[in-house]
Every structure is written in structure tokens, then in C-alpha cells.
Amino acid sequence: MSELPPDLDRLRTVEVYLRYQLAAVQQKIAQAERKAQWEAGRPAPRHQPPAGMEWWRLQPMSGDRPAVLHRHGCPGSTEQMSPLNRGAARDALANPEIPATPCPRCRPDLALRED
């Protein structure tokens, strides 16, 4: 911006516009940071990954029952289960230390084989 208007009304208008633009930029930065965290395998603090990202949930082991991996939206999963990205979901099924099995209803193993 090379020149600013001399009168108060137009200066206030420019100020409101710039605040709006700053808020829009800050929102985009936050979205990009959440996406980068998600892709790095570190879920964002909220319990839902960025829009458009495919994700899974791991139901913890309970007694003798193994952990169960669910696709997002499976009726067997809950919001209390932490979201996992593709790499973490694959690791959960492949890791012998975590006896995780795929949910028989939503079949996350089939989606994880697609590539």
C-alpha cells in the first residue's frame, strides 16, 4: 500500500479490512500447521484431523481382547479414541507388541492396502 487516505473514515475502513485479512491469514496458517502435524503422525490437540484427511481410530486393549483398529465413522469407534494417520494405522496393525486387529465391520485393513 503506497498511500493511505487522509480522512478518519477511510482510515478506519482500511484498518477493518487489514484486520480481516490478518485473521484470514492466521486461520490458514493454523490449518497448515494442523495438517503438517497430522501428516507427521502427531495429531492436532483437538480430536479430529483436518478436513479432507483420511483417518482411523485405535480402540485400546481391554483385558484379553486385542486393540481394534477402526476407520473414521465406524459405529464401533468413539470420539475418545485418538485419531491416527495412515502411517500410524498401518503400524498399529503390523506392530507385534500391539496386538491390534482390524474391525470386522469397517475393514480398515482394506483401505490401508490401497496405494
What is the per-residue pLDDT across 18-29, written as a single tens digit (0 to 9) for each? 776 877 777 788
| Average pLDDT across the chain, whole number | 79
pLDDT of residue 95: 79
| pLDDT tens sequence across 53-91 | 678 888 887 778 888 899 988 888 877 777 788 888 888
Place of cell 481391554: 62
Q: Give the count of alpha carbons within 13 A of 83, CB side only.
A: 24
Contacts 24+ apart (CB under 8 A), 60-65: 61/98, 61/99
Give the span between the Cα atoms of 32 and 50, in whole angstroms.
9
Contact status, residue 44 vs residue 34, Cβ threshold 8 Å: yes
